[in-house]
Every structure is written in structure tokens, then in C-alpha cells.
A and B are shown apart, each in its own frame.
Chain A
Amino acid sequence: MFFRSQHSKAILVVLLALAVAPVIAHLFDDVFYVGLLTRVLIFAIAAVSLDLIVGYGGMLSLGHAVYIGVGAYSVGILSFYGIDNGFIHFATAVAASALMALLIGASSVRTSGIHFIMISLAFGQMFYYLAVSVNTFGGDDGLRIGGSSDFGPFGDLSDPVALYYVCFVVLVLVLFALHQLVQSPFGMTLRGIRSNEPRMVSIGVSPFRYRLTGFVISGMICGVAGALLANQNLFISPASMHWSRSGEIMIMTILGGMGSLSGGVLGAAVYVGLEYFLSRLTEHWQVIMGPIIVVLILYANRGVFGMLSALKRAGK
């Protein structure tokens, strides 16, 4: 219980800090950090969405970057054909990633454990190669996006601070909605299946449709993250759906602590932050990042919070 309340307090602090961050960055006239923090928010949305199926659904998906890609390509392809309407962009991103998750999920959520990991990896790569092979949309080189999503009277997402706050609001909404979801009848059923599948079957629950529904919800949310990423970078390439990107999102989810939703925010902040500071040290930052990941997984697999509280206990 101590752990829980500490956790939610910390999350509140982080969210408050994120809410005022652009104001402070503006005071110091350093807009770059707004971009960096936007990236944190976008990957936080992705990591939180992944936590729904990993931490609550027990589905270890290593293909989650696919939905980032689908969301981003939705924006990219639409604006390639001259459609700049933001409502259409985001509606398409959500619908396309839901459809994609439905297809992938329908053929993979029946399996579990190691098989699920490998199948999700493989399907992720399949869509990566698909994106590479379609030259109309840039193929391997990626697709430059002409302009950001235009929401008509509400403005567009070209202003970095506006984009930042849109990402922030989306993240808070997602956290709130998923917080409700995991306690709702559906969420409890999903968690029950993760905890004890035979028992759920014996009380009359068929796991497949709940797993699949959870999988689709998660993919949809991650698709929104992808659409936001497209707006930030105004560029999308197959690399953003490569399996190593899926691995990074999974690491964010794990670092924040699985099954805590808001942990994904922390994980994304830690990961993107590390990436940024290490890449300022050396262009070969991955040589440092790799071993850090190994050490974190070996010695702090209960997440940053798990590690902190373990250290605290050791210190006492």
C-alpha cells in the first residue's frame, strides 16, 4: 500500500511538471526541450497502451511499433493525397490501427507465452517489410509529410507548444480512461484471464474475445500516438515500425513497472531522457544504452519504482 500511494504521488508530480514544462522552457527561450518533451509524451501514450495488454492482459506483444507506423502512415498517406483535415487524419489512424490490431490479434491471441512473443515479432516485421516495399509512399526512404493535421477552426498542430498540449491532453485522457477500464467488468475479466485462465473458463468466460478486444483497444491508442508522432516529425519511415522500436516501447513499459499504467509515463521519460543525454555524449550512444538496458532488466525488472523501493529498504 505504501508503494501504491508513493507511486500515484510521484505520477501526479510528474504530470504537473509536464503541464507547466513548456511555459518554463519558453521563459528560458529554449523551444528544443518542448520537442523533446513532446516525444516523451507520445512514447508515454504508446507505452501506456502497451501496458494494457502486457500488464493487464498478459500478452507480451513485441510488435507494438506497428501501430505507431499505421497511425503515422495514416496521416502521411492522407496528406500525400492532399487531405489535411485533422479529424479525418486521426479518425483514419484510429480505424486503421484498430483494423490492423484485429487482423494481427485474431491470428495471435490464441497463443501464449513464447509463441505469442515470436508471432508478434514476426507480424511486426511483416508490416515493416510491407512499408519498405511500397515505393509509392517512399519505401525504405520514408515519406515526407507536407503539413500537419488541420483542425479547421481549432487550428492546426504546426505550433510545437500547441502540439505539446494536445499530446499532454491525449495522454491524460488515455490514463484516465484506462484507469477506469482496468477496474470495469471488462478490465477485471481481462485481468482474471491473465491471472488464471482455466478458472475464468470454468466460470463461463471464453478468453479469446476479451484478449482480442483488449488487443484492439491497445492498438487503437498506440495508433493515436503514431498520428501525433507524424505531426511532430512531419516524416515517417518504415524504421519507426521496426521490431527494435517495438522493443524500446516494451522497455519503457517494463521500466515504469508493468500493470501500473502511469508507469509507462515514467518509463518513457527515463528512456527518451537517457537516449537524449547519451546521444549528446557520443554518437555511439547505443553502446552505452545497450548495457544499461541489460543491467536494468537484470537488476531492476520490477521497474524503476520497484528498484527505488528496494534500494530504500536496503538503505534502512
Chain B
Amino acid sequence: MSGLASLATENLFLRFGGLVATNNVSLDVRAGELHAIIGPNGAGKTTLISQLAGNLRPTSGCIRLNGEDVTTVPAYERARLGFGRSFQITSIFREFTPLQNVALAVQAQRGNEFRFWKPVLDDVSVTVPALEILDRVGLGKRANVLASDLAHGEKRSLELAIALATQPKLLLLDEPTAGMGPDESVFIVELLRKLKGSVTMVLVEHDMDAVFSLADRISVLVYGEIVATGTPAEIRANAAVQSAYLGEDEV
């Protein structure tokens, strides 16, 4: 499989007891586009991302990658198919250095972890690409400190770097700029802009300026249901979206 991936969900439902967390979601993410998902807090954005990544199993419906049904494929295999994920709540290896963090992802992507002798950090075929990615997210100079000692914004960058290091064909980004300062967020937004076109992206984000300037298309999720999908201009003009969501938040 090469080139750009497309992702689609068909009538996806997820119920927790009586609660419907995902309600008949049919999403269509075209190859190469940056598709943003917005919606008020508690709309079920992270829950949806978790189903796409394979961490949660939907109650019914199906998920297709390039037309192929991957609904029952477990999360780790989905990652090997080209899914990359960054978490809303920073999920890094705290007792490792950023270089080790990213190196783990680089080698996982190659699938050569069953080697028992040569230290990972002595393997330039792993460390060179890892350092390259750290440079891209602006952590090149911080490659060898302990990850738990990084500042919050740096941890968020590392989070993204780990996702990038698996060379995903489809990147699921859950609020990559959450908790970042303005400068750091601008940096990440520019990074995503540079990535655009080279990888298909699903982006959950609260920063509306970022979303409307980055996204090719936007889907609006309210109470687990998609109320609108369209280009940024169409979404801006959509009355239903205005009342359901944008009206409450400042745009």
C-alpha cells in the first residue's frame, strides 16, 4: 500500500448502556485532505478518534481504510496499516529521552523489535530519522533530556513527533495544540500546514482560527452526531452549525 489513504465510516454507533456516544456517524475523509472535526465539549470527538484508531470497538457500523473494512482490526495492527495517533492527554514515555521516545516509534514502524543485542541508540538507521523528526517539531536541541523534564509545550511536540515517526498514511490528531502557549501553537499549526498533502489527516481542534485556516473540509459533531460537513466557507455559512455550536463559542 502506498500513496495517500482515505478513510470512511458508515453508520457508526457506539453505546455505553443507555448513552449514545457516537450516533450514526458516516464520515468521509478523502485521500490527502485535512479533515477537521469540531464540536462542543462532550460531543464525542475523542471517542470517535478512539474508534478510528481501534482503541474502542463501535457497537455497530463499519470503518473503512481505502475501502477495506478495518472495523475489527485491533489497534496495534491498524497502526501497522498506516494509522498514526496523537493523544489529547499527552501520552509519552516519561522515563525515556525524546530521542528514545521517537526511536521506539521509528523501529516499531519497521517491525524489527525482535533484535536482542545492539543498543537502539547505536543504530544510525534509527537515530538519524528520529533526530530528523525531533528537528521538525523543534525538539532537536532537547533530544537527550528526560521526557518528564520537558515543558508542557515540548511534551505536546514530542507527542506529535511520536505519531509522525511511524510514517503514518493517516494521521489522527486529537487536539495537538491543547494547553500550548500561543507561539508554540503557531509553530505546530505551521508544521501541520507543511504536512498537508503528504498525509491524510483527521484533526480535532478547539482553536477555530487554526481549524478554519488549515482544514480542507470540516465536520461538525454535536451529541455524537454529525450535523454538517463541508468546506470552511460552507460551515461558516451553515445556519444549523451557527446555532448548535459556533454561536456559543467565539469564532
Contact = CB atoms under 8 A, between A and B. Distances in A.
Asked if chains A and B come from one complex, the reply is: yes
B243 interface: no
B100 A188 contact: yes
Nearest to A189: B113
Given A186-B116, A192-B93, A199 B103 contact: no
A203 B120 contact: no
A188 B115 CA distance: 10
B79 A201 contact: yes
B120 A184 contact: yes
B55 A199 contact: no
A202 B116 contact: no
Interface centre among B75, B80, B113, B163 (most CB of A within 10 A): B113
Interface stretch (A7-15, A81-89, A204-212, A260-268): A204-212
B166 A195 contact: no
B245 interface: no
Nearest to A205: B108
A192 B104 contact: yes
A5 interface: no
B117 interface: yes
Contacts of B87: 198-199, 202
B125 to A, nearest CB: 11
B91 interface: yes
Interface residues of B, number: 40
B115 A184 contact: yes
* Interface residues of A, dominant DSSP: helix
A290 to B, nearest CB: 33
B60 to A, nearest CB: 23
Contact of A183 (B53, B77, B121, B163): B121
Contact of A188 (B91, B104, B109, B166): B104
B85 interface: yes
A186 B113 contact: yes
Interface in A183-230: 183-189, 191-192, 195-196, 198-206, 210, 213
A204 to B, nearest CB: 3
A206 B85 CA distance: 16
B46 interface: no
B243 to A, nearest CB: 36
A205 B113 contact: yes
A172 B30 CA distance: 57
A307 interface: no
B96 A201 contact: no
B105 interface: yes
A180 interface: yes
A185 B91 contact: no
A300 interface: no
A189 B116 contact: no
Given A188-B104, A210-B113, A203 B94 contact: no
A205 B117 CA distance: 19
A195 B117 contact: no
A166 interface: no
B91 A199 contact: yes
B117 A206 contact: no
B16 interface: no
B92 interface: yes
Contacts of A186: 113-116
B79 A202 contact: yes
Contacts of A202: 53, 55, 75-76, 79, 84-85, 87, 91, 163
Interface in A257-289: none
A188 B123 CA distance: 13
A196 B92 contact: yes
Interface in B127-153: none
Contact of B166 (A198, A203, A206): A203
Contact of B107 (A183, A185, A196): A185
Contacts of A188: 100, 103-104, 107, 113, 120
22 contacts: A180-B119, A183-B121, A184-B117, A184-B118, A185-B118, A185-B123, A187-B116, A189-B108, A196-B91, A196-B93, A196-B94, A198-B87, A200-B76, A200-B104, A202-B53, A202-B55, A202-B75, A202-B79, A202-B84, A202-B87, A204-B166, A205-B76
Given A184-B118, A199-B87, 7 more contacts: A185-B118, A187-B116, A196-B94, A200-B104, A202-B87, A204-B77, A205-B79
Across the A-B interface, the 9 shortest Cβ-Cβ residue pairs: A204-B79, A183-B119, A189-B113, A203-B108, A204-B80, A206-B76, A195-B93, A203-B105, A185-B113
